[in-house]
Structure formats: C-alpha cells, structure tokens
C-alpha cells in the first residue's frame, strides 16, 4: 500500500459496495464495523460512525452532498461515462458530462457516494 484513507459511514456495507463498484478496489476484509478495500497501491477503510452519532445523521434520497469538508477522495478510472452509470446504480451520482473539466492530462468530474460524500474521478486523456 502506498496511500490510503479512512471514510466514516452510517451504512458501511452500502458505502463499501459503492466504492467497490466504481473503482478498482476490491473488498479484502469485512467486519460489522468496517470494510477494507484495496488495489495494488491504495487502501480505503470504510468504518462505522459510532451508533450514538449515527442516530443523529439523516441520509436523504438522493443524498445531500457534503461539500463543506476538508478532504475529497480522488480515483483514477478508465471511463467517466462508465463510472457515471455504475455510481447511479450503486446509490451515488456523477455530475453530468457538461461539468467535466481537463486537469493535468485527465478528464475530471466530481460526484458523490450514497451518503453524500464528494468524490472525484479522473480519466486519463489519450493523445
């Protein structure tokens, strides 16, 4: 593992399933209070928000985006169009194509997971 992140979630299985479906991360370990997803260089741990705090959090449908946070997860993917479909099927969303932009050799687009956490996807632009 070269890099990793820990993401707190109210519904750990649902959020972990979202990231497993839209990235190259695979579930390598799961318990009631956390799920570990990994690929060759990245580890994402989705951990349960403590029950007393989780009881005070409401996740709407669709989820309200939580964009006033200090960290945004970023994943490189092969196709933003494919992620757009996968994200929607897994309870999240990716912004529409007209909101994509170019950055350092990648086509970039933000979206959110099933609990509203903002996540960015980058697809390499081939010359």
Residue with tokens 């979202």: 18
Task: List alpha helices for 49-95, DSSP H.
Answer: 51-54, 80-89
**pLDDT confidence of residue 77:** 96
Whole-angstrom distance, CA of residue 64 vs CA of residue 59? 7
| pLDDT tens-place string over residues 81-125 | 999 999 999 999 999 999 999 999 999 999 999 999 999 999 999
Tokens linked to 36: 């570990």
**pLDDT confidence of residue 20:** 98
Tokens linked to 105: 């050799």
**pLDDT confidence of residue 67:** 87
Whole-angstrom distance, CA of residue 127 vs CA of residue 113? 30
DSSP H or E run through 101? strand 101-103
CATH topology of domain 3-51+62-124: 2,3-Dihydroxybiphenyl 1,2-Dioxygenase; domain 1 (3.10.180)
**pLDDT confidence of residue 126:** 81
Q: Is 49 exposed, middle or buried (0-12, 13-18, 19+ CB in 10 A)?
A: middle
| pLDDT tens-place string over residues 41-70 | 899 999 999 999 999 999 998 999 998 888
| pLDDT tens-place string over residues 4-51 | 999 999 999 999 999 999 999 999 999 999 999 999 889 999 999 999
Whole-angstrom distance, CA of residue 106 vs CA of residue 44? 22
């Amino acid at each position: 593992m070269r890099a990793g992140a820990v993401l707190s979630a109210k519904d750990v299985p649902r959020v972990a399933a979202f990231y497993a479906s839209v990235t190259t991360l695979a579930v390598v370990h799961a318990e009631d209070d956390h799920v570990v997803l990994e690929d060759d260089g990245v580890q994402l741990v989705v951990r349960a928000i403590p029950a007393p705090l989780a009881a005070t959090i409401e996740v709407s449908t669709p989820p309200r985006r939580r964009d006033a946070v200090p960290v945004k997860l970023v994943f490189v993917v092969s196709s933003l169009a494919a992620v757009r479909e996968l994200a929607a099927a897994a309870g999240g969303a990716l912004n529409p194509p007209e909101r994509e932009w170019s950055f350092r050799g990648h086509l970039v687009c933000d979206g959110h997971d099933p609990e509203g956490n903002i996540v960015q996807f980058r697809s390499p632009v081939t010359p």
